[in-house]
Amino acid sequence: MNKTDLIDAMAEHAGITKAAAKKALECALIEIEGALQKGNRVSLVGFGSWSVSKRAA
């Protein structure tokens, strides 16, 4: 599944337009990215968790 597939599925399941689903997904991704950039951990129960860690190059 790619981003377009996810947008299509979101629109169908939520009964909204693809444009609205795209905006919702983009907003969610912006918020997740912002939290990670601030060093916060992001956790969506039942889905996954993300955090930034430093590793040697």
Greater confidence (57 vs 15) lies with 15
Model pTM score: 0.84
Could you report the per-residue pLDDT of 6-34, keeping only the tens digit for each?
Answer: 999 999 999 999 999 999 999 999 999 99
φ/ψ bin of 6: left (φ > 0), alpha (ψ from -120 to 50), beta (otherwise): alpha
Provide the pLDDT for residue 57: 82
Please answer whether residues 41 and 51 qualify as being in contact, where contact means their C-beta atoms are separated by less than 8 angstroms: yes
Instruction: Look at residue 57 and give its three-state secondary structure.
Output: coil
Euclidean distance between CA atoms 41 and 21, whole angstroms: 25
At 53 the pLDDT is 92
The answer to whether the beta carbons of residues 10 and 24 sit under 8 Å apart is yes
